[in-house]
Amino acid sequence: MSGFLGFVACVGLIAITVLTRAFFMIPRKEVPLPQWLKRGLKYAPLAALAAVIAPEIVMSNGHFIHTLADARLPAAAVALVYFFYKRNILGTIALGMLVYLPLHIGLGW
């Protein structure tokens, strides 16, 4: 690829990125969203988080874990119980890591 084509590609990528990131800030007045879309957008962060975390808990190296001697399972279970009891995300992360690290480092799970 020549230098000019590389420059054109970079400018195009910048334009696409700015346009997609600033899409909701470009109009002068608020863009009305349908009620069903507003309702659905409430769950988008939770769905994205679940899509990232769930495979990390149940898979290792692209395959489902095949043993219960995996430090992620008890850590996730304890963190889940704590979250539903206290509703504190920082405590959930801290407690999950407090269970995970000794099992992973100490026992080699």
Our count of domains for the chain comes to 1
What average pLDDT does this structure show over 45-55?
A: 88
Query: How much is the pLDDT for 7?
Result: 95
**Contact by Cβ (8 Å): 52, 36:** no
Q: Is residue 95 part of a domain?
A: no
pLDDT of 24 above 90: no
Report the candidate in 72, 50, 48 with the shortest Cα–Cα distance to residue 60: 72
pLDDT at 8: 95
- Provide the whole-model pTM: 0.58
Q: Tell whether 93 is covered by a domain.
A: no
Domain for residue 27, yes or no? yes
Does 19 map to a domain? yes
